[in-house]
C-alpha cells in the first residue's frame, strides 16, 4: 500500500498571512451561522422588538464580528497554537502502510 502526502500550495514563509486568512475565514463562517441561530432563538422568544429580520440579522452579525475577530486574533488563536505546539505536534501520528 502506498501512502501519498499532499501539501497545500501556499508559501509557508508568510506565516502571518496564513494566520490572518484562517482567522478571517473561520470567524466569518462562525459569525454568520451563529448569528442566524441567535436570530432564530430571539425570534422564538419574542425578544427582537420592532423592525425587519434582515436588519436584526445584520446588527447581530456586526456585534458578533466586532467581538469574535479580535478575540480570535488576540486570545484564542495564540493560545491554541501554543497548546497545539506543546502537546499535539510533539507526538506525530504514524500512518499504517
In tens, the pLDDT along 54-92 reads 999 999 999 999 999 999 999 999 999 899 888 876 666
State how far the Cα of 91 lies from the Cα of 80, in Å rounded to an integer.
Answer: 16
Within 13 Å, how many C-alpha atoms sit on residue 25's CB side? 5
pLDDT at 1 over 60: no
Query: Higher model confidence: residue 71 or residue 97?
Result: 71
State how far the Cα of 73 lies from the Cα of 26, in Å rounded to an integer.
Answer: 11
Q: What is the pTM of this model?
A: 0.72
In tens, the pLDDT along 13-27 reads 788 888 888 899 999
- Residue 61's contacts (CB-CB under 8 Å, 6 or more residues apart) are 31, 32, 35
Q: For cell 436570530, name the residue.
A: 39
Amino acid at each position: 500500500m502506498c501512502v501519498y502526502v499532499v501539501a497545500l500550495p501556499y508559501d509557508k514563509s508568510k506565516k502571518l498571512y496564513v494566520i490572518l486568512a484562517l482567522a478571517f475565514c473561520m470567524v466569518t463562517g462562525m459569525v454568520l451561522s451563529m448569528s442566524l441561530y441567535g436570530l432564530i432563538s430571539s425570534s422564538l422568544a419574542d425578544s427582537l422588538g420592532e423592525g425587519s429580520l434582515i436588519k436584526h440579522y445584520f446588527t447581530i452579525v456586526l456585534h458578533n464580528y466586532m467581538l469574535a475577530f479580535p478575540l480570535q486574533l488576540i486570545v484564542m488563536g495564540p493560545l491554541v497554537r501554543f497548546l497545539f505546539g506543546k502537546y499535539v505536534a510533539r507526538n506525530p501520528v504514524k500512518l499504517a502502510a
